[in-house]
Amino acid sequence: MIALLTGIIAHKAPDFIILDVNGVGYRVHIPFSTYYDLPEEGGKSTLHIHTNVKEDAIHLYGFRTPAEKTFFQLLIGISGVGPKLANGILSNIPVDNLRCALMNGDLVRLAAVPGIGKKTAERLVLELREKALKLDPGIQPAGTGEPPTLPLPGITDDVASALINLGYKEAVVRKALAEVSATPDDTVETLLKQVLKLLMK
């Protein structure tokens, strides 16, 4: 069971990276929160890994902090919440905010995530509130990294693709993208944050 990987980022996208570990490339699914904190392609990074084994595939999910991994594992332990949805929750709500939402029973915030309705939000609060209370809110990164700097061409497509993969409707994503003003100084990170802010209203 893979629990930790350290290597060179061979490819980086908002929803996954390929991590080159001594010549072996591991495809690792990541939440946006981890993406924001990763160095550019060619940089070295360490990720906390959750290995999801299915009958026909093995998927790796990577996180920059132990807290992200812990919450991911708590989320997938809830009936109706699979790895993809758990990854989507962490992409939409930072760990410290998720902890607060669970402790305070903030159903509106939780239900705003694609794939989570009122019933699932209620189930999350009911089953995870006590566990969230006991968790250490401090978040320490697994490694250091520089914020990504990417050219403007193709950025909107990368952002749209990542959000659609999370479960947002393409029309809704395109509308939100049209409402934010992308500049030559924008990166995938800054644009993602702007669009998510609109979508989570």
Instruction: Provide the whole-model pTM.
Output: 0.70
Integer Cα distance of 16 and 162 in angstroms: 9
From CA 89, how far away is CA 113, in angstroms rounded? 6
pLDDT (tens digit, 9 = 90+) per residue, 36-72? 889 999 999 999 999 998 888 899 999 998 989 999 9
CATH number for 56: 2.40.50.140
Q: What is the pLDDT of residues 156-200, one digit of tens each?
A: 778 778 888 778 877 877 777 777 766 667 777 888 888 887 777
The CATH number given to whatever domain includes residue 195 is: 1.10.8
Number of domains in the chain: 3
Q: How far apart are CA 117 and CA 170, in angstroms?
A: 19
Range of the domain at 173: 155-199
